């Protein structure tokens, strides 16, 4: 068994469901500290975060490459549906099964072993390498990476490169790398009407009827055309609720939950203004509360993406596609203090599913790609 696979299994065996780290980060610290990493644990409301850094010989003038990721995993779902216990790593037919195998404990193990091999081969490396690890990525993400970024920003710490170990590959290892993500903004809209008897509509105001024309306009609106890296911004209703449950009562209000997934072609302020303009144009009496859970970020093709593409090609022979599809990630926080943030990890076909797994054949190549990037950028 390879060292990377052994460490992956050790991490999978910890039932680290958000936000409980289950001492996974301590396992990482025990591997990193002997290499010369200064390890700092940052706790916030039950969330455990790790910032570990090993400075290069260039000191503060050298480039800093950070590996970022999370030790937490999503709940298992019905245990009886798993072919083997989710927190007992099992290899069957060339695949490693267990919760977190793909998302993202194999990446964490790859980060660590790649760093060990890199430091052994380049003890006088010029640049610096760091780890930014949280136990709050799969949950609210309010006490995890964002707290570490706030702390680093307050200290004036800047990162030059960051690789987030999210499972980005699709058909095979290395075919997709994320160089950005769309932003996410939600709205909670309440349309106010007047409740009344359904037989006397002239004495009431039906909020559903009032909403309908504005809703049709919001659905039909083209918010932007996207750009070179992003598809057009989308607006989707996730929930619409009204009524008392009785068939003879006109409701007094209608509640709508909706979400924008938006690109760098639009802004938070611009999208909000356009929604309000549509609602106002239809003369609606309403309340609207906004929540921005993440801003879009984009890393144009540059040093980091080029180094990663070359490492993947040299290790696997695969040609990489840069993509910004999918949901949000902690890269949205890290982009505040790092100009080049990309995500790369194993295939994502089984993430969050029953019998989550990774092909064992991908474990060592994943680690080797991470090591090759270190060698290109900070050796």
The enclosing H or E element of 147 equals: helix 145-155
Q: What is the DSSP string of 207-268?
A: HHHHHHHHHHHHHH-------SS-PPPEEEEEEEEE--S-TTEE-SEEEEEEEEEE-TTS-H
Residue 46: how many CB atoms within 10 A of its CB?
Answer: 12
Chain-centre distance for alpha carbon 256:
26
Q: What are the CA-CA distances from residue 296 to residues 115, 261, 262, 326, 335 (Å)?
A: 30, 9, 7, 12, 9
**Residue from 328, 343, 326, 355 nearest 12 by CA:** 355
The enclosing H or E element of 303 equals: helix 303-316
Distance between CA atoms of residues 29 and 175, nearest Å: 31
Distance between CA atoms of residues 342 and 308, nearest Å: 9
The values of phi and psi at residue 5, to 5°, are: -65, -40
Q: Is 137 marked active-site?
A: yes
Q: Are strands 357-359 and 95-97 parallel, antiparallel or unpaired?
A: antiparallel
Chain-centre distance for alpha carbon 114:
22
Choosing from 21, 72, 103, 343, the catalytic residue is 72
Choosing from 103, 137, 160, 356, the catalytic residue is 137
Distance between CA atoms of residues 54 and 37, nearest Å: 4
Chain-centre distance for alpha carbon 31:
25
Task: For residue 104, say if its preceding peptide bond is cis, omega within 30 degrees of 0.
Answer: yes
Catalytic residue numbers, as ranges: 72, 137
């Amino acid at each position: 068994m390879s060292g990377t696979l052994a460490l992956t299994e050790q991490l999978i065996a910890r039932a680290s469901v958000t936000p409980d780290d289950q001492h996974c980060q301590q396992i990482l610290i025990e591997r990193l500290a002997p290499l010369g990493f200064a390890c700092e644990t940052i706790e916030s409301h039950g969330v455990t975060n790790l910032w570990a850094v090993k400075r290069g010989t260039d000191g503060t003038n050298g480039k800093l490459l950070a590996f970022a990721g999370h030790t937490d995993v999503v709940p298992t779902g019905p245990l009886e549906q798993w072919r083997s216990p989710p927190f007992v790593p099992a290899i069957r037919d060339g695949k490693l099964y267990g919760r977190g195998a793909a998302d993202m404990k194999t990446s964490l193990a790859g980060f660590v072993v790649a760093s060990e091999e890199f430091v052994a081969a380049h003890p006088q490396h010029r640049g610096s390498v760091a780890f930014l690890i949280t136990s709050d990525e799969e949950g609210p993400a309010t006490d995890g990476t964002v707290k570490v970024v706030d702390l680093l920003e307050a200290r004036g710490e800047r990162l030059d490169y960051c690789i987030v170990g999210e499972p980005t590959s699709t058909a095979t290892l290395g075919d997709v790398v994320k160089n950005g993500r769309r932003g996410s903004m939600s709205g909670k809209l309440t349309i106010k009407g007047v409740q009344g008897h359904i037989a006397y509509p002239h004495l009431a105001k039906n909020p559903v009827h009032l909403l309908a024309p504005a809703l049709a306009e919001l659905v039909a609106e083209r918010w932007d055309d996207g750009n070179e890296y992003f598809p057009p911004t989308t607006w989707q209703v996730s929930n619409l609720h009204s009524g008392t449950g009785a068939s003879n009562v006109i409701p007094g209000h209608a509640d709508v939950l909706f979400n924008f997934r938006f690109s760098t072609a639009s802004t938070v302020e611009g999208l909000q203004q356009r929604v309000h303009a549509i609602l106002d144009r239809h003369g609606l009496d309403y309340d609207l509360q906004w929540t921005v859970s993440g801003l879009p970020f984009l890393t144009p093709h540059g040093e980091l993406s080029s180094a990663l593409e070359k490492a993947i090609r040299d290790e696997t022979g695969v040609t990489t596609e840069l993509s910004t599809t999918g949901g949000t990630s902690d890269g949205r926080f890290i982009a505040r203090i790092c100009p080049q943030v990309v995500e790369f990890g194993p295939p994502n076909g089984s993430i969050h599913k029953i019998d989550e797994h990774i092909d064992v054949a991908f474990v060592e190549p994943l680690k080797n790609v991470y090591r090759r990037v270190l060698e290109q950028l900070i050796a």
